Structure 1
Amino acid sequence: MARVAVICPDLLFGSNVEGALRAAGHEVTRYDDLAGVDSPDVLVVDLNAVEAAPLPAVPSVGFYRHTDVDTRRRAEEAGFDVVVPRSRMARETAALVERVLAR
């Protein structure tokens, strides 16, 4: 079980991400932004909703609207470990988190 910080102000999508991670056995805390995030094992960020950079030494997954190529590029340049479209995040939430934990 990992401690996962989810930064996703979208109530519905954030709840889906949280539910998938809890079902996979993770402890999940939701935030509206990076303020207050305290020592997670993994960081999951809605890149279109918040300006966020990965935390040093914390594996990170960012997701974005599939039409927003610039956001994807900026996230990759900023150092997010995995950057995927929102649709893939919806389908593979737990697997993506497991992937960054295994690194």
Structure 2
Amino acid sequence: MAARADGPIVCVSYLARAELWSVPLFPAANHGVEVRTTGQSIAADGPMAAAVLAALDVPTTLVANDIGDDQEGRKYLAAASQCRYDRHVRSRSRHAVDRGDR
């Protein structure tokens, strides 16, 4: 029988945005290629693991850096809010807990 945790699984990582490009083939060095589609995603193993665990209804907390309050940062946070993990961030001036959609 597996042991049960008293609290959430905690993932500690940096948090960053990634842009994914779909191309027909990888270009040769110093050459271009047609980009067919683009998409946004999270970068780093910690946020990806936290998102998967939360999707499996496992209580999960992500401890990560804050995201900038610019247009790109707000777009990222809007997309990340679909993940159902608690996100703890530490900035230079404050400590915050983002409870997401819980």
TM-score range, shorter chain: 0.3 to 0.5
Q: Which has the higher strand share?
A: 2
**TM-score normalized with structure 2 length:** 0.32
Look at both structures and tell me which one has the larger radius of gyration over its CA atoms.
Answer: 2
Indicate the structure with greater helix content.
1
